[in-house]
Amino acid sequence: LIPTTPLFTNLSMSPPIPALTSRNVAVIGAGAAGLVAARELRQEGHKVVVFERDNQVGGTWVYDLRVEPDPLGLDPFRPIIHSSLYRSLRTNLPREIMGFKDFPFIAKNDKERDPRRFPGHREVLLYLQEFAEEFRIEEMVRFETEVVKVWFLEEIKKWKVKSQKKRGGKDDGFDFDEETFDAVVVCNGHFTEPRVADIPGISAWPGKQFHSHNYRVPEPFQDQVVILIGSSSSAADLSREIAGFAKAVHVASRSVPDDTCELQHGYDNMWLHSMIESAREDGSVVFRNGRTIVANIILHCTGFKYHFPFLQTNGIVTVDDNRVGPLYKDVFPPIFSPSLSFVGIPWKVVPFPMFEFQSKWIAGVLLGRILLPSQEKMMEDVEAFYLSLEASNIPKRYTHNMGDTQFEYNCWLAAQCGCPGFEEWRKKMYQAVSERRHNSPETYRDKWDDHHLILEAYQDFTPYIS
C-alpha cells in the first residue's frame, strides 16, 4: 500500500448486500485471527476459503529458528520469516484472559504440555491447533498458498484474489491462480515487518544492527556491549535475557526523561538511558543524557509496521505513519464496506477474544443480519475519531493503540452482534497483570494475587470444559 491521502470521494463502490445472503469469502491468513474469522463466517453460512502461506496454522505462534538474511528487515525483496518469537518467550498475558471466549485456554493434564499460567510459546500453538481441530477449520485452509494480489472489480462488485502455491517435489516454482470472491477478510498479522529507529549518523556506525524480529537466542551476545532500543514488554524480557550473556546492556527508552541514566535494579551490567542522540564512525553512541558508550550491537525492539503488500485499492485504503485507514471501528473501510474487512488491527489489547468479536460482527454484516451505518456516516465517525486523537495530541502512529478503550470497544462489538460482552473478570485481570508487569517485570509471570479472578474465570469456563 502506498501511503497517500485517502480518497473519500467515490462512495459507491460497495456491492449492495441483500438481506440474509451467504457469501463467498476469502480469508487471508490462518493465525488466530484467520482461524476464528473462518469459524464465525462458516457459522453464519458463508462459504470460506482461507489462504495460508505457511504449511500449518498458528501464524505468529509457529516458532521458527531461522532468521531473515537482512537483520534489520529493510530489504523489501528479502525472504520473509513470518514469526517474531524468540526461544524463551512466555506469554505476557495469563492463559485465562488469552483464550477465545467459548474455547478456554486451560492447562492440560499431560506431561508433554506446559501447565504454567503464562506458558511458553509452544503451548499457545498447541492451543490454536486444538481450536482448528475442534472446529474443523483446516478443511477450509489452502496451505502453502500465498495471496499476492487482491483488487476490486468495479463492474461486478467483487474481489479478485491472485495466489501462488509452491509446486511439490524438487521443482521450486509456483502455480498461480486467480479467483473471484464476494468479500475478503484480511488477517495477515502485523508483527512481521520491522519498524526501525532513526538514528542520526547510523550509516557510518561500524557495529551490527538487528531488529527483535530476528532475535531468537541470547548466546550470540556473549561478552558484547549491546544497546537495546525500546520499552515494550518484549524489550523488557530481551534486555534481561541478554544481560545474562553480554558484557553490558544499555537500554534506550523514549519514555523516560532526557537526563535518565540508571543502573537497573538487580543488575551490575544493565543501564536505562534516555533516547539515542547520534551514532558515530568510531563505534560510539551518544545518548540524550550526555553519556557516550562504545557498543558492538544495536538491537531495535521498536515494533512493527502494518503491511499489506497484496492489497491494491488505488489509494483508497492506505497505511500512513502506521495508521491503516480509513477504517470504521478498525474493521471496515467505509467505501468498500462490507466486502473488505480487517481482523486484528488494534494493538495493546487482548487479541484472541477481540478477534472473535470482530469476526462475529463481520460474519453477521456480510450475511445482512447486522446492518452498518451508511458509508457517509461511517466516514464521519472515522473523521471524528481522527480529530479526537489530534485534540488529545496522540500521534498518528498510535491510531490503533487501544489499551483501556478495548473494553468499551469489545462491548460495542458484542452489542452489534447481540452476544455477551467482554467479561468483567477478564478486564480486571488484564488491569491487574498490566500493573504487575510494570512493577515486577521479573516475577509477574510466576507470582500473583488475583486468585479470586481465576475462580471467576473458571466458573465462566464450566460450560466449555468437560
Interaction of residue 184 with ligand FAD, rule CB under 6 A: no
Q: Which of 14, 129, 188, 410 binds ligand FAD (CB under 6 A)?
A: 188
Interaction of residue 330 with ligand FAD, rule CB under 6 A: no
Minimum CB separation from ligand FAD for residue 29, in Å?
3
Up-side HSE of residue 285: CA atoms within 13 Å toward CB? 29
Q: Which residues, other chains included, contact 40 with Cβ-Cβ below 8 Å and sequence gap of 6+?
A: 356, 359, 360, 362, 363
Residues 19-58 binding ligand FAD (CB under 6 A) are 28-34, 51-54
Q: Which C-beta is closer to ligand FAD: that of 27 or that of 279?
A: 27
Q: Which C-beta is closer to ligand FAD: that of 33 or that of 382?
A: 33
Buried b (16+ CB within 10 A) or exposed e, 324-361: bbbbbbbbbbbbbbbbbbbbbbbbbbbbbbbbbbbbbb
CA distance 434 to 436: 6
Q: What angle do CA 188, 192, 340 make, to 5 degrees?
A: 20
Interaction of residue 15 with ligand FAD, rule CB under 6 A: no
CA distance 286 to 200: 10
Interaction of residue 91 with ligand FAD, rule CB under 6 A: yes
Phi and psi at 359, nearest 5°, equal -70, -40
Q: Which C-beta is closer to ligand FAD: that of 287 or that of 308?
A: 308
Binding mask 96-135 toward ligand FAD (x if CB under 6 A, else -) reads --x-------------------------------------
Minimum CB separation from ligand FAD for residue 90, in Å?
8
Minimum CB separation from ligand FAD for residue 53, in Å?
4
How far is CA 137 from each of CA 33, 57, 62, 145, 189, rounded to the nearest angstrom? 12, 9, 17, 16, 18
CA distance 334 to 65: 40
The letter for the amino acid at 8 is: F
Q: Which C-beta is closer to ligand FAD: that of 17 or that of 25?
A: 25
Q: Which C-beta is closer to ligand FAD: that of 188 or that of 274?
A: 188
Interaction of residue 218 with ligand FAD, rule CB under 6 A: no
Judged by CB under 6 A, which stretch of 69-77, 184-192, 433-441, 445-453 contacts ligand FAD? 184-192
Contact 215, 238 (CB under 8 A): yes
Interaction of residue 337 with ligand FAD, rule CB under 6 A: no
Interaction of residue 406 with ligand FAD, rule CB under 6 A: no
CA distance 191 to 400: 14
CA distance 257 to 189: 33
Residues in the site for ligand FAD, rule: CB under 6 A? 28-34, 51-54, 59-61, 82, 84-85, 89, 91-93, 98, 146-147, 187-189, 191, 234, 310, 344, 351-352
